[in-house]
Structure 1
Amino acid sequence: MTKQFRRGLTLFSILVLFTFTLTACSDGKNDVVRVAEVTRSIFYAPQYVALSEGMFEDEGIEVELTTTWGGDKTMTTLLSDGADIALVGSETSIYVYAQGTKDPVINFAQLTQTDGTFLVARDKVENFSWEQLKGSTFLGQRKGGMPQMVGEYVLKNKGIDPQEDLNLIQNIDFANIGNAFASGTGEFVQLFEPTASLFEQQGVGHIVASFGKESGKVPYTVFMAKESYLKENADVAERFTKALYKAQQWVDTHSAAEIAKSIQPFFKDTELELIETVVDRYKSQNTYATNPILDEEEWNNLQDIMEEAGELPKRVEHKKLVNTKMAKEVQE
């Protein structure tokens, strides 16, 4: 073996080792990110698109998705390090901050920008007006939750005092509100999809208005993480946000039928046609944010709604609990 050959072999070995090291580092970027979602909902379509279309994988991220069923449980999971990132309403970050914490929960990527509930009437209503609710039995959402706060905010803006002008029922568990209405309770009900559209298909009720359209833009559902996690995993969080942005753009530029087909694996018990109907309804009212930026106007609108409902512990500056740096950078 000649000296020149040995030198060449050594250089080749170094090159192979370097290439292997780069590959290993690349593989190492398939970071596991544990995400706790507050519920499983077509309302969160861009998240499921990012998963089904491989957008997180393209950014070297493996998402472990867990449904935690409720804002309190979701935030508890995040605070106890049972999840890295939570998908939940922004109001929860304000509640945590108000209680006092050295490691606040930071909103860094917005998913939905309107309320996701609809007003459903038992009987078909011609030429609906909000005045028709006065004196009726109204089956509302649980007190203190974002749906209830938005619902009452809209009612008040329409000149209706929920406590005085309605027979307001709010003592039914979230999961049973639809069943209660279907069994005969209430003349009007505030419902999420796909229950609202399903009831319309079945003739149980009729959608007459959208709380999302009436309340304006609000950071209804946002990806958030503890401040310490974002500092220690800035690159991961930015790649996560980039994948989400790709999914938001995909949803914005694809039809409801294409989106429904993409996310159907996450809703195996729901007919594809119904998923498409729901997606189309949300797209038509711009419920899905087209970028992950949670701006100051939306943040203030959220706090106005909470304050009106008597649920805002104190006003918090946008810059205290919102990080838009990554969301802005991924659009460049």
Structure 2
Amino acid sequence: MKKWLKFSFSTLLIAILMFSLAACNNDTTKTKKLEKVRLAEVTRSIFYAPEYVALEKGFFKAEGLDVKLTTTFGGDKTMTALLSGGTDIALVGSETSIYVYTQGTDDPVINFAQLTQTDGTFLVSREKIDNFSWDMLKGKTFLGQRKGGMPQMVGEFVLKKHGIDPHKDLNLIQNIDFANISSAFASGTGDFVQLFEPTASIFEKEGKGHIIASFGTESGHVPYTTFMAKQSYMKEHNATVERFTRAIYKAQQWVKTHSTEEIAKAVQPYFQDTDFEIIKMVVDRYKNQGSFATDPILDEEEWNNLQNIMKEAGELPKQVDYKTLVNTSVAEKIIQK
């Protein structure tokens, strides 16, 4: 009887050991199966909250992807990284895909998943204004964004919409580098400035300026920032693009159904130098004005609105058909499922 017990106990130990080794091997296999995807974002912004949610909540990993995020700081640098093979997927303004295409290419950049659907900038005044009207900008100094970029084009589009010629009715400054616009305003340059968050809210909290209007609300829906890849990558890695888009869609739906505080907590690790209350304020502002797209489909109306804005700013090289640079087949397939 003792021999049988000894044998049974030994057998049990061996079985446990074998099970543990198998479990470890399975974990290793799972890790090995994660496919690396290089993702470059044009800047680090709370505006891109669903992207960080997809990373932080493990939606990419659940799809078998190991997404490595880098911030390239600028549309030109982001597109260069994509075209040169330095990244697989880029998050950048859709206007960049038009610029590349019209310059001539055998491998165009394709927009396959939309992340934000409005402009993300706000009009900030130096003095507090209780009853703001756009004609108050006439004759004033306005610090705009870089010429040719979406913020600048949307800014001019909105000004013209309100009967203001940005080049005649005000003193327009556009020669200050993006990174230095806020500091220029803080040091006393300009009466009004066009700023992204969280800078706009930080300025308001510190008494350096006052948010008086939203360019996103004024300009309507546009494919402001989208995920894009070269056509060749889309063909060769169709399954990867599908899994990537599915993770983004999950994140978009998560952002749609969760509170401002929950979203702010999810993205906080990516903004460790920003006060949590400011993060909440910014998320709330973008969420309430519908800046976060709730699905990855870039529709034709948005595409046409984008080109109208570019044309109005004198920056559209030529009209590009929606189907030439936009592929919604992957996004539509995911949503239908």
Counterpart in the other structure of 1:155: 159
Counterpart in the other structure of 1:316: 320
Q: Deviations over 1:214-249 (max 9, x none)?
A: 000000000000000010000010000000000000
Matches within 5 A, 1:115-130: 115-130=119-134
- For structure 1, list consecutive stretches of 5 or more residues without a partner in the other structure: 1-18
Counterpart in the other structure of 2:232: 228
Counterpart in the other structure of 2:13: none
- Residue from 71, 77, 84 that aligns with 2:75: 71
Check 1:29–1:315 CA distance in 2 against 1; reply closer, same or farther (3 A cut).
Answer: farther
Matches within 5 A, 1:197-276: 197-276=201-280
Check 1:270–1:20 CA distance in 2 against 1; reply closer, same or farther (3 A cut).
Answer: closer
SS of structure 1 residue aligned to 2:304:
helix
Q: Which amino acid letter does the alignment assign opposite residue 275 of structure 1?
A: I
- Residue from 270, 276, 280 that aligns with 2:284: 280
Check 1:38–1:276 CA distance in 2 against 1; reply closer, same or farther (3 A cut).
Answer: same
Q: Deviations over 1:154-173 (max 9, x none)?
A: 00000000011001111111
* 1:300 Cα deviation after fit: 0.4
SS of structure 2 residue aligned to 1:228:
helix
* 1:30 Cα deviation after fit: 1.1
Supply the distance in 1 between the matched residues of 2:103 and 2:126 (Cα, whole angstroms).
41
Counterpart in the other structure of 1:145: 149
SS of structure 2 residue aligned to 1:163:
coil
- For structure 2, list consecutive stretches of 5 or more residues without a partner in the other structure: 1-22
Q: Deviations over 1:83-112 (max 9, x none)?
A: 000000000000010011111000000000
SS of structure 2 residue aligned to 1:86:
strand
Counterpart in the other structure of 1:166: 170
Q: Which amino acid letter does the alignment assign opposite residue 261 of structure 1?
A: K
Supply the distance in 2 between the matched residues of 1:214 and 1:193 (Cα, whole angstroms).
17
Q: Which amino acid letter does the alignment assign opposite residue 285 of structure 2?
A: R
Supply the distance in 2 between the matched residues of 1:232 and 1:190 (Cα, whole angstroms).
40
Matches within 5 A, 1:43-54: 43-54=47-58
Supply the distance in 1 between the matched residues of 2:135 and 2:203 (Cα, whole angstroms).
23
Supply the distance in 2 between the matched residues of 1:29 and 1:78 (Cα, whole angstroms).
24
RMSD (Å), alpha carbons: 1.6
- Aligned identity (percent) is 71
Counterpart in the other structure of 2:6: none
Taking structure 2 as the reference length, the TM-score comes to 0.91
Taking structure 1 as the reference length, the TM-score comes to 0.92
Supply the distance in 2 between the matched residues of 1:265 and 1:293 (Cα, whole angstroms).
28
Supply the distance in 2 between the matched residues of 1:267 and 1:195 (Cα, whole angstroms).
13
SS of structure 2 residue aligned to 1:103:
coil
Counterpart in the other structure of 1:4: none
Counterpart in the other structure of 2:102: 98
- Residue from 289, 296, 300 that aligns with 1:292: 296
- Residue from 118, 126, 138 that aligns with 1:114: 118
Q: Which amino acid letter does the alignment assign opposite residue 236 of structure 2?
A: E
SS of structure 2 residue aligned to 1:82:
coil
Number of residue pairs aligned between Structure 1 and Structure 2: 314
Quick check: 24-33 or 149-158, which moved more?
24-33
SS of structure 2 residue aligned to 1:164:
coil
Counterpart in the other structure of 1:31: 35
Supply the distance in 2 between the matched residues of 1:296 and 1:140 (Cα, whole angstroms).
28
Supply the distance in 2 between the matched residues of 1:253 and 1:24 (Cα, whole angstroms).
34
- Residue from 189, 196, 200 that aligns with 2:193: 189
Supply the distance in 1 between the matched residues of 2:33 and 2:244 (Cα, whole angstroms).
12
Supply the distance in 1 between the matched residues of 2:115 and 2:310 (Cα, whole angstroms).
19
Q: Deviations over 1:245-297 (max 9, x none)?
A: 00000001111111110111101100111100000000000000000000000
Quick check: 231-240 or 24-33, which moved more?
24-33
Counterpart in the other structure of 2:18: none
Q: Which amino acid letter does the alignment assign opposite residue 299 of structure 1?
A: W
Runs of 4+ residues over 6 Å off in structure 1: 19-25
Supply the distance in 2 between the matched residues of 1:20 and 1:275 (Cα, whole angstroms).
39
Supply the distance in 2 between the matched residues of 1:70 and 1:231 (Cα, whole angstroms).
27
* 1:29 Cα deviation after fit: 3.8
Supply the distance in 2 between the matched residues of 1:79 and 1:175 (Cα, whole angstroms).
24
SS of structure 1 residue aligned to 2:96:
helix
